[in-house]
Chain A
């Protein structure tokens, strides 16, 4: 069941540039377990879209199957959603994006949905550089089927039952970097301060923006010995660089707050300000990004933040040179060559 939230809001609730309150970006009440990391990510998604003043109906939400894939019901109720089949969200997103290139596509998936059953589709949507935001709510286990290990569970990490994970884990961010995503980031559901600007940057990026969010499963995988637990992540988190996200057209003042002063301009004109110069260079280097991830791993650390960024890549439509009008808006005059052409074709076949 999905439940609706009470509609009452404070009459003087803050509005964004479109005049909407945060309410316009909310969805139904979550049916996930109390304390689930996914709910925090949902909240961050709501904040990101609200603060960026994006029309909710210009967003398309897509998901696969699993706890994470249920969450689109809990945000952006004015957006169309597509809760598809297990591991196949990327192909549905590809098709939807082909039909209308002008909307914002937000895919939500989990570690089972992406790293196991859907790993093929994940790999290829990265290669295609589809213009979308791909969020993985990563808890290292299958929640909806009661806590089996997933492919992102770290080898040796102990789960609820106390057994260490026997197999090597898949690092989705490393995969994403290697397979051609131009924007790769890792966040933690418990760190909204980092997650909201990270999502905003992902939304502004043109091409595939991959955001892996470690999101503890309070019911099945939150033992302190699990590397996907609140405790462990808090203790081992290492941020790459604190950064600010400045949306397009917002006045850039000289004061960037906490000393951020290295701007990286995204495709739509928005700016990410990084704190340290070396980060800018590191960000655009795949090998460095991979090395940093591996190094952190060997130090028992989880590296968070934007891990890799190439703001100048071409998305699928740019490569395809798709016409500016969304394909779903073309009519017969644009599409059908007509009978004269057909008669000439007949003649050429004789």
Chain B
């Protein structure tokens, strides 16, 4: 057997039962790797359940800094009896399988191509701890201790992290450290030299931080000046609002009076959640809601109202696998079409596509300026992978000289100064954006009725076709203004010979970059474009038209970005080639290279039938 022997470049997968306290132990492991300077990307694969079902935590270490999901696992820590067989079968040939040997492995576990590492976790734990809760929790810490030995991490970095975690409650640190020592000691005594995977301290992390996208989004909302949030709990967006409230409680509460400079209203459903955000945006507060696919469906009617009446608000869509309830705890990028044109009638909404927590922060903060400038909903298209997993991310920074762009809002004094008759929907500046007023601004001027029915430039109800058409055309003019204001795509030009291109967005980025690097190593040079926003700019159209073929890499079944591009950019048929993954787990570089490779091979040698893409989706 050829053992896998690698340093700072492998995947460790923990197989646990959810609700058993494994999450904090596994997080601890990722944090230790991060603190040793090794780029790390943990992915939590969890069930839609609170206790008792299988959950996995996959940690990829990559000194080169590839942070997408790799696929496969080199080392599996199997502490869930329900999935023992699957976990055993999943270990890469040459890899390692650590299990709780308090119970023996069944006799049919006969693989000879992997190294089995037996540690009696339960027995060791029960010998040391008497309290039932402790016995459950510390079992997890014992295997972390064993890993510290097996992966050559050493006890110190791990116990340092434990002490840091419990800095405020040092008493809680003691049993954890004891459990670490037990695991470490057992592995040292019984499994000396059994593992060929090593962690070596390095400085490949730089100044990056480790944070989940939802927390970063919440920080963006806090810094962007959001004061009102209407929300309804839905996985995977709930932690956006929870984090917002946590930060707001810290930074937006008067220490003397306890008065809050924000209002977070937990609504009765998603309809009310967005209604609250719309009401607040209409009345001049920066407001948002956070939701996921089913919520977007419910919010669609209101999105149309906000579009047509021109009310600023921010919607955070942390996408999950659809349709319907779908796989609520799995990721996908499958709400593009639902969001871009959400609501009946000719409605279009501005979308932003963050690719990591740093961009979640920046784009969310910016989106409040954009919403007020454009007087329309801005939808942040995050997803479960970005939102709920920790990511290595550029540190956050804020320019203190920056001020909020509150857009075209007329004050009472402004209304007094204006000589011509003011009209809420009068396109004075010819950019499609009109001047709005807020309730209470002026005793006599500037009042109007906002209505979802057709209205004139002066906000009066009308059924005149000409006035309706003028309004709808002006909204298109505003759409053109939006096109100039949203972030441009990011290009990576690997060759001036513009034959093959690839485009991707959001959480697909890390895996796509890795895949294109690998293809380059094998001599296939592919230029790439990362789309950051909808509406698409001229630059997006040019990139597509300049290349012979463009792979559209995305995480949904129907190639929704491709459909959107085809509709918006008049793309020639056959030009965009789908590369997709929709199995609910984050896309891997391997899936992308396989699909691109297969397509290119088929184009060169058309007589070879391309392998089914579905096969690749399994890895």
Say yes or no for B416: interface residue by CB 8 A criterion. no
Interface size class of B (residues with CB under 8 A): 35 or more
Write the A252-275 contact mask toward B (1 if CB under 8 angstroms, else 0).
Answer: 000000000000000000000000
Which of B271, B400, B451, B462 is within 8 Å of A88, CB to CB?
B271
B280 x A96 contact (CB < 8 A): yes
Q: Are A99 and B222 in contact (CB under 8 A)?
A: no
Interface residue A90 (Cβ < 8 Å from any Cβ of B): yes
Chain A CB within 10 Å — which of B400, B437, B453 has the most? B400
Collect the chain A residues with CB atoms within 8 Å of residue B85's CB: none
A334 and chain B: residue at smallest CB distance? B261
What chain A residues lie within 8 Å of B497 (beta carbons)? none
Q: How far is the CA of A98 from the CA of B222 in the complex (A)?
A: 16
* Cα–Cα, bound, A41→B461 (Å): 22
Please provide the chain A residues from 172 to 229 with a CB less than 8 Å away from any CB of chain B in the complex. none
* Pairwise interchain contact A335-B261, C-beta atoms closer than 8 A: yes
Complex contact B439–A331 (CB within 8 A): no
Q: B276–A95 contact, CB under 8 A?
A: yes
In the complex, are the beta carbons of A73 and B449 less than 8 A apart? yes
Q: How far is the CB of A326 from chain B (nearest CB, A)?
A: 8
Q: Is B254 an interface residue (CB 8 A)?
A: yes
With contacts A120-B269, A121-B268 known, is A96 near B259, CB below 8 A?
A: no
**Interface hub of A55, A80, A328 (most chain B Cβ within 10 A):** A328
- State whether A95 touches B228 (Cβ < 8 A): yes
Binds A, one of B88-96, B194-202, B440-448, B484-492: B440-448
CB within 8 Å of B: which A1-31 residues: 1-2
Is the CB–CB distance between A341 and B261 below 8 Å? Answer: no
Q: How far is the CA of A124 from the CA of B267 in the complex (A)?
A: 8
A-contacting residues, B235-260, CB 8 Å:
251-252, 254, 257-260
Also in contact, A95 and B277, with CB within 8 A (given A327-B227, A335-B225, A336-B223)? yes
Residue A57 is within 8 A (CB to CB) of chain B in the complex: yes
Q: Are B439 and A91 in contact (CB under 8 A)?
A: no
Interface presence of B287 (CB below 8 A) = yes
Residues B275 and A341 in contact, CB atoms below 8 Å apart = no
Taking a contact as CB atoms under 8 Å apart, the answer to whether B444 and A335 are in contact is no
B230 at interface by CB-CB < 8 Å: yes
In residues 294-350 of chain A, which contact B (Cβ within 8 Å)? 316-317, 320-324, 327-332, 334-339, 341-343, 345-346, 349-350
Verify if A53 is at the interface (C-beta below 8 Å from B). no
Those of A36-94 within 8 Å (CB) of chain B: 55-58, 60-62, 72-73, 77-85, 88, 90-94
Q: Are A337 and B444 in contact (CB under 8 A)?
A: no
Q: Could you mark each residue 97-127 of chain A with 1 if its beta carbon is under 8 Å from any beta carbon of chain B, else 0?
A: 1111011000000000000000011011000
Question: Does A286 reach chain B (CB closer than 8 Å)?
Answer: no
The yes or no answer to A234 lying at the interface (CB within 8 A) is no
Q: Are A99 and B280 in contact (CB under 8 A)?
A: yes
With a cutoff of 8 Å between Cβ atoms, the chain A residues found around residue B271 in the complex are 88, 91, 120-121
B281 within 8 A of A: yes
**Contact A121 to B252, CB < 8 A, known contacts A99-B280, A128-B265, A350-B209:** no
A343–B397 CA distance with the chains assembled, in angstroms: 7
- Beta-carbon nearest neighbor of A121 in chain B: B272
Measured in the bound complex, the distance between the Cα atoms of B92 and A185 in whole Å is 72
Task: Output the nearest chain A residue to B225 by Cβ-Cβ distance.
Answer: A335
Beyond A82-B449, A124-B272, is A339–B397 a contact (Cβ under 8 Å)? yes
Cβ B225 vs Cβ A328 within 8 A:
no
| 6 CB-based A-B contacts, threshold 8 Å | A92-B276, A94-B265, A98-B228, A99-B282, A120-B271, A323-B261
Using a CB–CB distance below 8 Å, which chain B residues touch chain A? 35, 207, 209-211, 219, 222-223, 225, 227-228, 230, 251-252, 254, 257-263, 265, 267-269, 271-285, 287, 301-302, 305, 395-400, 403-404, 437-444, 447-453, 460-463
